[in-house]
Every structure is written in C-alpha cells, then in structure tokens.
Amino acid sequence: MTTWIGPAEAEYDERRRLFNAMINTRPRIIAECESPTDVREALERAVRDSLPVAVRSGGHSVAGLSSNDDGLVIDVRPMKAIDIDAATRRARVGGGCTWAEFDAAAREFGPATTGGRVSTTGVAGLTLGGGSGWLERQHGLSCDNLVAVELVSADGREIRADDTQHRDLLWASKGGGGNFGVVTAMEFQLHPVGPMILGGLMAWPAADGPGVSRAFRDWADAAPDELGTALVMLSGPPEEFIPQHLHGQPLIAIAVCWNGDESTGADVVRVMRDLSPEVDLVGPMPYAQLQSMIDDPPGFRQYWSADYHDAFPDDALDVFLDAGARRASPMTQHLLLPWGGALARVDADATPMSQRAARWVSHPFATWEDPADDAANIAWVRDYRKANAPFTTGGVYLNFIGNEGDERIKAAFGEQKYERLGQIKSEYDPGNIFAGNQNIRPTVPA
C-alpha cells in the first residue's frame, strides 16, 4: 500500500533529506512504495496532477536527482527483499536495497558482486549508472553482472527484461541511468569473494607525493586483476590509527582490495609497502568491512566530477598533486582510479558505456560543511578539470559527476549509443516522464 507523505507530515523532512546537503528540494508529495502496484499508483497520480517525477533509492546522486521541487518522489526504499541462490550464484535484490544490505545477505553464502565503494549507496542507482567498485578489474562493473531488471514503465506496465525478453531494455539499464522506468528488483551474477580479503589503507605525508604517485601509477598499471586500488589525497583524520602528528595534515594514500590468494597479495602489496608508509592498515579483513571503510555520513555539501584517461603521465600526476595540495576543504578527497582488467574486456557494444579501454579515472571529490564555502569548493573542482584537460579522453563515468549538461551525458555514451538509447527511450517513455536523471530524451517524443 502506498504511503503518501507531504510537507504537513512529521517525517517529511527526514524522508526528503539527501546525501548531498547542497540539495534542499521540497517535493509536493513523497510516495513510499512497497510494491510495483504502489509504483503504478504513484505514476498515475503524477500524470493526473502534472507533477514532475523523481525516483529515490539510496539518495546518493550528487546532483540531487533523487528528488525535485514541487513534484512527486517515488521512494522505493521499502522494497528490501533479497534472495540468494547459492547453487547458481544469482541474487535478486529489491529496488530499495543499499550495498550494505546486499553485501550482508550475500556474505552468508560466500559470493558477492562488484558494488560501490560506499556501502550506503543504493544498488539500483549505482548499477543503472554503471557501477564502479573495488572488484571491477576482476569481475567487471555492477552493470556487467546485471542479468535481469524488473521495472514499472511510464505507462504502468510491469516489465521484466532479461536475455529472453525486452533485451533492449536490459541493455539500456546497463549504464543508461534511470531513464526507462522505476526499478523494483534486479538480478545479479555473483562471484567468489573472500569472505576475507586483503584490504585497507597505506598513507604517507603529502611531501612524499611525487615518489609515491609515480610508484603507484606503475604498480597499479601492471597489477593483476585481483587488485582493486586507488590513489587518494586527503587530510589525516583524528583517529587512533593515524599518528598524532599527521592529524589534520595532508596525506597521500592508497586504498587496497586484493581478492585472491593472501600470500600472493602480500607479495603484490609489498611494492608499495617498501616505500615505508607512515600508516599501514592493510591486512586481512572481511570484504563487507572494506566496503564500508570510507562511508561518509550524510549532511555535508558535495560537488564532484570525473574524467577518463588513456594514460596518466608525470605531467598529469604533477597537476593531480598540485590540486590535492590546494584543496579548498580538508574534508575533500582527490582520487585517481585504475581501470582495465575485466572492465576493459567486456565487449564494447555489450553496454551503453563508451570508452571501455580508458585506463584511468580522475575523480575530484569536494566535501565541505559551510554554505559560505560553496564557491571555493566548486571552483576547486572546475579548476582541476581545466588544468587536467590536456590529459583526458573526453569520456566520463556519469555516476561520478553532478549535473554538467547534455554534452557530458552524450560523452558518456558516444554518438551511436546515445542515439540507440534515445530510440529505446521512445519505446518505454516517449513522454519523458523519467526526466529527473542524467536525462536521455526520446528520439521520437510522444
């Protein structure tokens, strides 16, 4: 049964709150949906009252696409059912689940699939946008492991898309965003993961950045697929595991996820360990613990962007380090992620995503508290992208960026795939009811 929540209800402010505190939208009505029937009822009301529609699951969209002003928000968070088939290594996951919930359920059986690096992210939203995570070089993106999707289309149809029916819709759901319907469930292929992996963080003072970053680039570029990693510039948190003299100080760090033989992983990690990090927290841990290691609480202001790179030469590293040293907020993280491996071996036409062969992703990730600092933090991200532009391919991973316009959306897919997505949009949502996303307009409007 649909629960309708408006501004007069006590829980309204809590239910409309998003991860990014910069977004303070006030929908006219929030529809809490427990079933596809509820979703259909909510869509009928939106059409009847001429209300714009947004779909809310994890609420992590940095652009605030999980909500709107004076519209209707379809909140699928009550849809939490998770069914694991250990024999076939398949999982059916409700549209309202987070990665923490999915990983916890899968852990009882042993396998997992590539999920976000933050456990509070919604499974559906991350997967629809591609799904980058620690296991991507070994098992591909989340969308590469998506075998079926169940959704309610703009005209209220309950549709299952898999390899036998609505194959075009399944293809579009593997990175084409929430343009085609309200996802009520997804099915994934699972893989052997852990339950113990080799993971954690190593960190050095930022002054060691030139040597550490170059060693990291060469190490990560040649690493086996079992290694998921990232180079991160951040400020030392005031935690027991950080030496006191590094509290609040700029650091250069690497995150490690090794899903394979532990002794082999120790040999692989030794290359970076031999650089004598002042913080070395890499060791055996449950995979689910690593997945939640960098969780940020909601309530902070966020502005992110990203770019693809075919290579990351020394000059690009110098730009990266310079920007990291000039972060406008000590809460900001500046990331460089190696791609490749299984991610690059997926057939180029198997998903809407373009530039599968891109070797690196740069990801300036600005986080701060005071609204008075908005301009400085947004400028920091944009200034880095401008300085970094000579080293980029022009492609982008949409889950890592905010609302940056139509050209950036097209750059994520390329001209031919964008055209195909528009044709699929024409079939399932010709009226562009689902416009509250990185929007693909129907090629043939209603």
Q: Are residues 67 and 93 in the same domain?
A: no
* Tens of pLDDT, residues 151-194: 999 999 999 999 999 999 999 999 999 999 999 999 999 999 98
Look at phi and psi of residue 166 and say left if phi exceeds 0, alpha if psi is from -120 to 50, else beta. Answer: left
Asked if the structure places residue 443 within a domain, the reply is no
Q: Are residues 171 and 231 in the same domain?
A: no
Which residues span the domain enclosing 209? 196-400
- Which residues, in sequence order, are bridge partners of residue 20? 300
Whether 199 shows a pLDDT value over 80: the answer reads yes
Asked if the structure places residue 426 within a domain, the reply is no
Asked if the structure places residue 410 within a domain, the reply is no
pLDDT of 446 reads: 67
Q: Are residues 157 and 291 in the same domain?
A: no
- Specify the number of domains making up the chain: 3
Q: Is the pTM of this model over 0.85?
A: yes
Q: Are residues 53 and 95 in the same domain?
A: no
C-beta of residue 149 within 8 angstroms of C-beta of residue 186? yes
Whether 323 shows a pLDDT value over 90: the answer reads yes
Q: Are residues 336 and 238 in the same domain?
A: yes
Q: Are residues 222 and 301 in the same domain?
A: yes
Q: Are residues 136 and 183 in the same domain?
A: yes
Asked if the structure places residue 321 within a domain, the reply is yes
360-368/196-205 β-pairing: unpaired
Q: Are residues 154 and 221 in the same domain?
A: no
Answer with the one of 75, 109, 135 that is the final residue of a domain.
75
Helix, strand, coil percentages (3-state) for the chain, rounded to 5, are 35, 25, 45
What is the mean pLDDT of the segment spanning 407-416? 96
pLDDT of 296 reads: 76
Q: Are residues 258 and 334 in the same domain?
A: yes
Q: Are residues 200 and 188 in the same domain?
A: no
Mean of pLDDT over the chain:
96
* Tens of pLDDT, residues 235-285: 999 999 999 999 999 999 999 999 999 999 999 999 999 999 999 999 999
- What CATH number corresponds to the domain at position 309? 3.40.462.20
Long-range Cβ contact pairs of 239-248 (< 8 A, separation 24 or more): 241/279, 241/281, 242/203, 242/279, 243/278, 243/279, 246/203, 246/205, 246/278, 246/279, 248/330
- What CATH number corresponds to the domain at position 7? 3.30.43.10
- What CATH number corresponds to the domain at position 109? 3.30.465.10
* Tens of pLDDT, residues 291-305: 888 777 778 999 999
What is the mean pLDDT of the segment spanning 345-350? 96
* Tens of pLDDT, residues 7-48: 999 999 999 999 999 999 999 999 999 999 999 999 999 999
C-alpha dist (Å) from residue 406 to 168, 271, 424, 439, 446? 23, 42, 18, 8, 20
Asked if the structure places residue 432 within a domain, the reply is no
H or E stretch including 413?
A: helix 406-413
- Res. 108 pLDDT band, cuts 50 70 90: confident
Q: What percent of the chain has pLDDT over 90?
A: 93
Q: Are residues 68 and 129 in the same domain?
A: no
C-beta of residue 288 within 8 angstroms of C-beta of residue 117? no
pLDDT of 444 reads: 81
- Which residues, in sequence order, are bridge partners of residue 148? 187
Angle CA(291)–CA(296)–CA(299) in degrees, nearest 5?
A: 150
pLDDT of 8 reads: 97
pLDDT of 276 reads: 98
Q: Are residues 331 and 200 in the same domain?
A: yes
Asked if the structure places residue 314 within a domain, the reply is yes
Asked if the structure places residue 133 within a domain, the reply is yes
Whether 109 shows a pLDDT value over 90: the answer reads no
Whether 139 shows a pLDDT value over 70: the answer reads yes
* Tens of pLDDT, residues 6-15: 999 999 999 9
pLDDT of 205 reads: 98
What is the mean pLDDT of the segment spanning 315-336? 97
